[in-house]
Amino acid sequence: MLGLLGRFRKKKKEKNTAIEQSKIVSELERFCGGDKETFEALFHTMFLDPRKVKASMEEAAENAKKLEKAKDATRARMWYEIAGSLAIYEGNVKKVVEFFGEAEKILPEMKYAILKNPEKAVAMAQEYYKQYLK
């Protein structure tokens, strides 16, 4: 019986997590106002709370380079995305362009909207972090 109750609790927690995530996304959308291009760029690349990521930007980039040399393109791209997302948090536009550019080279079909106007997207993300990560 306890096992059965545990299953129900997990589902309820998963449902609450989905509601929380949708609330955060709508906050980001509201924060971006009518700027759909910047919202799309950040929605697909930005960590809403990067403080929870255990790796640093430098560690993520190093992992990506090692995996790229090892011909593990999928994992290398993932680590470049992590490094790029952490660069957004740090406000480092040059690194954002570098890391998402590298990820795009690995998988050319994947286009990162943040590369269209990285300065604007990073500035918007910085304002978001100032407001929501107190």
Percent of the chain with pLDDT over 70: 81
> What was the pLDDT predicted at 24?
55
117 phi-psi bin (left φ>0, alpha ψ -120 to 50, beta other): beta
Residue with tokens 């109750």, as numbered in its chain: 5
Alpha helices (H) in 1-134, listed in sequence order: 2-32, 36-43, 57-69, 73-90, 93-106, 118-132
Distance CA(101)–CA(115), nearest Å, equals 8
Q: How many domains does the chain have?
A: 1
Each residue's pLDDT tens digit, 64-94: 999 999 999 999 999 999 999 999 999 999 9
Which residues, at least 6 apart from 3, have a Cβ–Cβ distance to it below 8 Å?
Answer: none
Q: Give the residue numbers spanning the domain of 109.
A: 35-132
Is 11 inside a domain boundary? Answer: no
- What's the pLDDT score for residue 4? 43
What is the chain's alpha carbon radius of gyration, rounded to the nearest angstrom? 17
Is 16 contained in some domain?
no
pTM of the model: 0.79
Does a structural domain hold residue 77? yes
